Amino acid sequence: MLIVQKYGGTSVGSIDRIKAVAERVVRSRREGNNVVVVVSAMSGETDKLIGLANQISPNPDEREMDLLLSSGERISSALTAIAINELGFKSISLTGRQVGIITDKAHTKAKIERITAERVKEAIDDGIIPVIAGFQGVTETSEITTLGRGGSDLTAVAVAAALNANLCEIYTDVDGVYTTDPGIVPDARKLDKISYEEMLELASLGAKVLQTRSVEFAKKYDVPVLVRSSFNDNPGTLVMKEDKEMEQVAVSGVAYDKNQAKITVIAVHDRPGVAAKLFNAIADANIVVDIIVQNVSSDGKATDISFTVPKTDNKKAFKITEGIAAELGAKGVYLREDIAKVSIVGVGMRTHSGVAAKMFETLARHGINIIMISTSEIKVSCIINAKFTELAVRVLHDSFELGEGKKEKVKPKRKITLKKN
């Protein structure tokens, strides 16, 4: 088998951990597999580099940031190759450029356009284990780019697709994909398998176990992805095409995202072209708008528009909105930063009714006010006050009986006595 193994930041977080990764790679090789390794930067490294740049400038040039950040993965890939060599197996580290990962020019969030992977193929043919520096690529004009936070997942999936690998293993610090973040709900249950669609929703709604774009890529090119721990040999979670079994449960996971901010424009003209003007201006600044709520005006003249943007872009979005507020006829623009999004996800929602109502009822029972709602075929999201995020995730997880041992739904409902924090 040809297997791409990606190791995340924690998995290569120290020299001992890198040695353990080398052992695991070699073990798979001894079992008869051809292994291609992709590594993240050592844990904390990317944040550290961002911190250094921010000590000089609050708004560093994005081209320079990409060159800076790509260095984290260079270090870990070279160290991993050294560790594999030390075990008596030939290994070489390769940068994104050496692998031929060609991207567009969107610095800090570049999209992969194509991968040549010549050096990788040559290495495999020569019995050499390639260790690829994740998270990075190069433009047609030789500029170094990075693929967005968590982007080593994308490198792994894209390389697996380019090589037509049998499997892409994502090694991380948890045993697989859980019904929610096991870091905040200890009762979360590991899923044996999850559909690309559900994983895509969970990832884009905040579950950082896989980068959203890596899941899109896996779905598009049909790459089977196995998420598992680098700390043990537990079986992990297979991300794959939907099957009948998956539709039997209405909700398979709960996600949360604290990187949210809400902008409200008060009393804009209720006439054609207002929303287009506003959201074109925001889109031109490369800001992704998430939930939008607009009411019909009661007097036929003025209406409020609220929308959410990533917290990291809120200042920029607020400034743009303020800048065109007069043109929109607005009486004012407000920014709210203390919000979060909690979401429930499941392909079974297509065939189960009352799921959204149950979510709203659960939140209400715990005194959590819903600020905005957004739904799609397989998810329901609510914007709430950020201070209730953990509570909301726990009570929703409990209410939809997602926890360990709750699968059979035979137990009487456990009473929830959670402290509001």
The pairing of strands 253-269 and 379-385 is: unpaired
CB nearer Mg ion, residue 151 or residue 346: 151
AA letter at 202: L
User: Does residue 393 belong to the site contacting ligand ADP (CB under 6 A)?
Assistant: no
Residue whose pair of structure tokens reads 């400034």 in the numeric block: 319
CB nearer ligand ADP, residue 128 or residue 199: 199
Which residues make beta-bridge pairs with 138?
A: 102, 144
Give min distance, CB of 121 to ligand ADP, in A: 26
CB nearer Mg ion, residue 169 or residue 398: 169
Give min distance, CB of 149 to ligand ADP, in A: 8
Task: Kindly identify the residues of this chain, within the stretch 189-248, that bind ligand ASP according to CB under 6 A.
Answer: none
User: Does residue 182 belong to the site contacting Mg ion (CB under 5 A)?
Assistant: no
Give min distance, CB of 403 to ligand ASP, in A: 29
AA letter at 280: N
C-alpha count within 13 angstroms, C-beta hemisphere, residue 82: 9
CB nearer ligand ASP, residue 96 or residue 150: 150
User: Does residue 77 belong to the site contacting ligand ASP (CB under 6 A)?
Assistant: no
- Neighbouring CB atoms inside 10 A of 155's CB total 30
Assigned token pair, 83: 């560790």
**Residue 183's binding partner, choosing from Mg ion, ligand ADP, ligand ASP, none, with beta-carbon cut-off 5 to 8 A by kind?**
ligand ADP
Give min distance, CB of 203 to ligand ADP, in A: 9
Task: Kindly identify the residues of this chain, within the stretch 184-203, that bind ligand ADP according to CB under 6 A.
Answer: 202
Q: In what order do the strands lie in the sheet with 332-345?
A: 292-294, 302-310, 253-269, 332-345, 379-385, 372-376
Residue whose pair of structure tokens reads 């560093």 in the numeric block: 60
**Residue 149's binding partner, choosing from Mg ion, ligand ASP, ligand ADP, none, with beta-carbon cut-off 5 to 8 A by kind?**
ligand ASP
Give min distance, CB of 6 to Mg ion, in A: 9
User: Does residue 150 belong to the site contacting Mg ion (CB under 5 A)?
Assistant: yes
Q: Which stretch binds ligand ASP (CB under 6 A): 20-28, 54-62, 147-155, 296-304?
A: 147-155
User: Does residue 207 belong to the site contacting ligand ADP (CB under 6 A)?
Assistant: yes
Is residue 219 within 8 Å of 264, Cβ to Cβ?
no
User: Does residue 134 belong to the site contacting Mg ion (CB under 5 A)?
Assistant: no
3-state secondary structure 184-246: CCCCCCECCEEEHHHHHHHHHCCCCCCCHHHHHHHHHHCCCEEEEECCCCCCCEEEECCCHHH
Q: Which stretch binds ligand ADP (CB under 6 A): 160-168, 176-184, 258-266, 375-383?
A: 176-184
User: Does residue 152 belong to the site contacting ligand ASP (CB under 6 A)?
Assistant: yes
User: Does residue 13 belong to the site contacting ligand ASP (CB under 6 A)?
Assistant: no
Q: Which of 112, 209, 218, 278 binds ligand ADP (CB under 6 A)?
A: 209
Give min distance, CB of 227 to ligand ADP, in A: 8
Dist. CA 350–CA 353, nearest whole Å: 8
Question: Measured between alpha carbons, how far is residue 168 from residues 3, 69, 178, 325, 412 in Å?
Answer: 6, 24, 18, 48, 40
Among the listed residues 198, 195, 184, 177, the one whose alpha carbon sits nearest the alpha carbon of residue 344: 198
Q: Which residue's C-beta sits nearest to Mg ion?
A: 150
Residue whose pair of structure tokens reads 């001894």 in the numeric block: 30
Q: Which of 63, 74, 149, 208 binds ligand ASP (CB under 6 A)?
A: 149
Give min distance, CB of 151 to ligand ASP, in A: 5
Question: Measured between alpha carbons, how far is residue 163 from residues 37, 68, 168, 228, 245 in Å?
Answer: 13, 28, 11, 21, 30
Backbone φ and ψ for 176, nearest 5 degrees, come out as 160, -160
Give min distance, CB of 153 to Mg ion, in A: 6
- Neighbouring CB atoms inside 10 A of 284's CB total 9
Q: Which residue's C-beta sits nearest to ligand ADP?
A: 8
Task: Kindly identify the residues of this chain, within the stretch 2-41, that bind ligand ADP according to CB under 6 A.
Answer: 8-11, 40
Residue numbers of the site for Mg ion (CB under 5 A)? 8, 150
Q: Which residues bind ligand ADP (CB under 6 A)?
A: 8-11, 40, 150, 172-174, 177-178, 180-183, 202, 207-209, 253
Interface with ligand ASP by CB under 6 A: which residues?
A: 9, 40-41, 46, 72, 134-135, 149-153
